Structure 1
Amino acid sequence: MENLIPTPQNDDDAILALLDNMKHELGIFMDGVLRYLGDHPDLRVGGKQIVHSYKSRLKDREHLRTKLARKRSQGNPVLPEDLFRRVTDLAGVRIIHLFQEHFSQIDRLIRRKVDAGDWVLGERAKAYTWDPETAEYFRGFDLDVMQKPTSYTSVHYLIRPREDSPICCEVQVRTLFEEIWGEVDHQINYPVPTKNLACGEQIKVLSKLVGAGSRLLDSLHRVHQSDREPGA
């Protein structure tokens, strides 16, 4: 007799099938977001592109399966009917810039697209940071600022083509220094935190160096700009 009792395995198989069916449309929308932000002519200052680099990715089946298992182990399982509401990073774009002060222009460009009705924010954008000075900077924008003990710094937008669409692209905006920290932490300390005390401490130290490096870059940029002003 066919087993009609729902099981975690049945749910996961159904969810992975939903991902397979939606992957093409997710990719098309993600590519449009990436090109709009990554190459936009308005993101140029002094003839130079604000965006240092950009990347995108579609979550594959195995990473999604791992995420589903992790949520289930935390007592927060995802059901097939909840997939596109609960898992909002199936498509992801990362925009990397050099100077923190240029974040305002990237944020303005995203808001302009939303105000025109071309995109919809799935929720209020969030700025994650451990650093009080960076948190204070982000409070000057229309963002929910979350100070986290994990040393992570990034701004996240959930972008949909329309309010009722299941398609969602998570856009992460961060500096190049913050990207370096994030890549190191992702390999050593995520999604399962390292149990090596020395590694954990060194990751925290690296975050402090990243914060200092970002401030130094902004200071260098301001000095350079003042030297180029007429009469300087």
Structure 2
Amino acid sequence: MSSNINLSTIISEYTGNRHLFEYFMKSVQNFFELNPKLNKKPLPIIHSIKSRLKDPLHLEEKISRKIKEGRNITPDNFFQEITDIAGVRILHLYQDQFMDIHNVIMKQIEIGEWGLAEPPKAYTWDPEYKKIYESLHIKTELKETFYTSSPMARVS
């Protein structure tokens, strides 16, 4: 089967089932929005939540790029190769709030509600936070640009 046929099949499957990805994305977003541990007043841990579903055109471009890099992406291995179909970003204001969010995510994984599609990864400019993330078994990259991103966990 040629790459073009695979690509067409994958995009068609995605667009035909996009509502299921959106449903899952919104359920994850609702989980965080409604979680009393993370939203207690007057000082909630979560500042804001953003979500997005991958546009079919961008998905097609990403798959094409990966195929050109030599990856064999098929309808059968699509979810192992493309792990960012939907995204939910949890924003918090203070670094010490990360642990509460992390614990809630890990609890969902522990009870089998969510699974990690790939290991979490964090970016930081601060060597102390690098140590904290690494103590939690989170791959961490130091960025000299002062860019910080708490671990990204790809949930499935």
TM category, shorter: 0.7 to 0.9
**1:25 equivalent among 2, 16, 20:** 20
Matched, 1:39 2:34: yes
CA RMSD of aligned residues (A): 2.3
Structure 2: stretches of 5+ with no match in the other structure: none
- Opposite residue 130 of structure 2, the aligned amino acid is A
Q: Distance in 1 between matches of 2:145 and 2:86?
A: 23
User: For residue 20 of structure 1, what is the amino acid of its counterpart?
Assistant: T
In the TM superposition, what whole-angstrom CA distance separates every residue of 1:148-176 from its partner, at most 9, and x where no partner exists? Answer: 6787532111222xxxxxxxxxxxxxxxx
Larger Rg over CA atoms? 1
Map residues 101-120 of structure 1 onto 2, 5 A cutoff. Answer: 101-120=96-115
1:1-232 matches, cutoff 5 A: 6-44=1-39, 47-147=42-142, 153-154=148-149, 155-160=151-156
Unmatched tracts of structure 1, length 5 or more: 1-5, 161-232
- The structural deviation recorded for 1:78 is 2.0
Task: Give the aligned length.
Answer: 155
> Which residue pairs with 1:206 in the alignment?
none
Change (3 A) 1:41 1:91: same
Runs of 4+ that moved beyond 3 A: 128-131, 146-153
Which structure features the higher share of helix residues? Answer: 1
One-letter code aligned to 1:33: V
Distance of aligned partners of 1:34 and 1:138 in 2 relative to their CA distance in 1, 3 Å threshold: same
Cα offset for 1:16? 0.1
Which secondary structure does the structure 2 equivalent of 1:124 belong to? strand
Distance, in Å, in 2 between the alignment partners of 1:95 and 1:153 is: 13
Give the 3 Å change call, closer, same or farther, for CA 152–71 of structure 1 in structure 2: farther
Map Cα deviations across residues 199-230 of structure 1 (whole Å, 9 max, x no partner): xxxxxxxxxxxxxxxxxxxxxxxxxxxxxxxx
Alignment-derived partner of residue 203 in structure 1: none
Tell me if the contact between 1:126 and 1:145 (Cα under 8 Å) persists in the aligned partners: yes
- Cα distance in 2, alignment partners of residues 41 and 14 from structure 1: 42
SS state of the match for residue 107, structure 2? helix
- The 3 A distance-change label for structure 1 pair 151 and 80 is farther
Offset of residue 99 of structure 1 = 0.4
Question: TM-score with structure 1 length normalisation?
Answer: 0.59
Shift of 1:61: 0.9
CA shift, 1:141, in A, is 1.9
